[in-house]
Each structure stands twice: as C-alpha cells, then as structure tokens.
Amino acid sequence: MSFPSPNCGERRGGARPDLVVIHYTAMAGVAEARARLCDPAHEVSAHWLIAEDGGTEQLVDEALRAWHAGAGAWGAVTDVNSRSIGIELANGGAQPFPEPQMAALERLLAGIMGRWGVRPERVIGHSDMAPARKSDPGPRFDWRRLARSGLSVWPEARSGGRPAEFLGHARRFGYPDVEEGLLLRAFRLRFRPGVEGPLDAVDAGMAADLARRFPVDAATGAA
C-alpha cells in the first residue's frame, strides 16, 4: 500500500492514537484536496481522504503523525496530531454529506477504532478541538448517525441544566479552555446545529450529561 503524502513524521514521545479528528476539505473536489494534502509546500496532510462517492484513500500510514489538527486541544492533549488519526471528507462545507461518503466513513471508523482501541467519545470534529479557528465538519455533518452506530456519542439529557455550569461540564467532556462564546459555538455546531441565542438550559443539560458519562482524565486527556 502506498502513502503518497510526504507531510508526516513520527508520533512524539512514542504516542499512540487514541483520538480521531474529522474534517471537511473546503475545496472544490477530491482531486484538489488530494493535491494539497500531498504537496510538501503546504505542510498539511491527513491519514485518510474520503470522496463524495465513498472512494477512500490512505495518504499517511496510521502509525505516523499526520499534520491535520494544528493548534488546539482535547482535554489535556495539546499535541493532537501525535494522539490522533485525521480523516478528511471531500465537502465544501455548505452541502450535505452524501450517503456513500457517510457509509464509507462508518466502515473506516469501525476499522480504526478496532485497530487502535479508540473509544466513541474520542471521535471528535476539528471544531471541537480548535473552537477559535475551525468550524469543520460543520452543521451539515450527521453526528447523531455516528452515535447510533457506536462510532461517536450523543447526549441523552436535553434540558434541566444549569447554564452557570456549562463551561465546566463542556471542559470535563474534553473541550479546550476557551471563552464561553467560542465554546458554545463549537458545542452547538455539533450537538444543536442551527440554534442561536444565549446559552440556555438545553446546552447546559447536554454538556452535563456528556461530562457525567464521558469525562476525560484531567492529567492525561484520556477517556
């Protein structure tokens, strides 16, 4: 099997992947995305690229550190590239993700999670770990579908939370230490797409449920 992207290196400190980060390419098509992810001048890459028709290409060996996450954090993990596998979905960011692409993603995720022991709560979006910079995979991505298949998580509680506790609970789930507005935007992109306005009891209740069921270790960032 060939791995055409040179934009990779060894995982630092002997780290093993225990996160998966999902992205969209925000480019015209899969060919343009592939060219960029394999171009040494751009210094970006991902382990996997999935086309709209479900075609799946491995660009970097999963054992290596691809350059997909950039600055950000999940729990105590600040070098997300060394602890994650990155998946790019060919999508401009505004359109739905086609059924063949989602089905291919589900198959790929099941394999990655089995190979590396990644837990469902450790499958996150780029916007989750970098709320100040990123919005992918965006409001059109079907996180609930992944959760129904055991490939990610979804909150059970939908109300009754205390807004004053939202930040603490969201960070206990893994969100980084950013100001409330940025964190709320990232949280809603994933769990309440299209909702606007002030932080409310539904946001707080969902965050509290996630923190209760899927807390990260404050020291290691592990689930």
Name the residues annotated as catalytic.
88
Burial class (CB in 10 A: 0-12, 13-18, 19+), 12: exposed
Q: Cis link prior to 137 (omega < 30° from 0)?
A: yes
Do residues 45 and 7 lie in contact, with contact meaning Cβ atoms separated by under 8 Å? yes
Instruction: Give CA–CA dist 82/12, Å, rounded.
Output: 6
Can you read off the two tokens belonging to residue 154?
């979804």
Q: Report d(CA 93, CA 106) in Å as an integer.
A: 19
Measured in degrees and rounded to the nearest 5, phi and psi for residue 8 equal: -165, 175
CA distance 97 to 108: 15
Packing angle of the helix pair 180-191, 166-173 (nearest 10 deg): 60
Q: Are 4 and 49 in contact (CB under 8 A)?
A: no
Helix (H) or strand (E) holding 9: strand 8-9
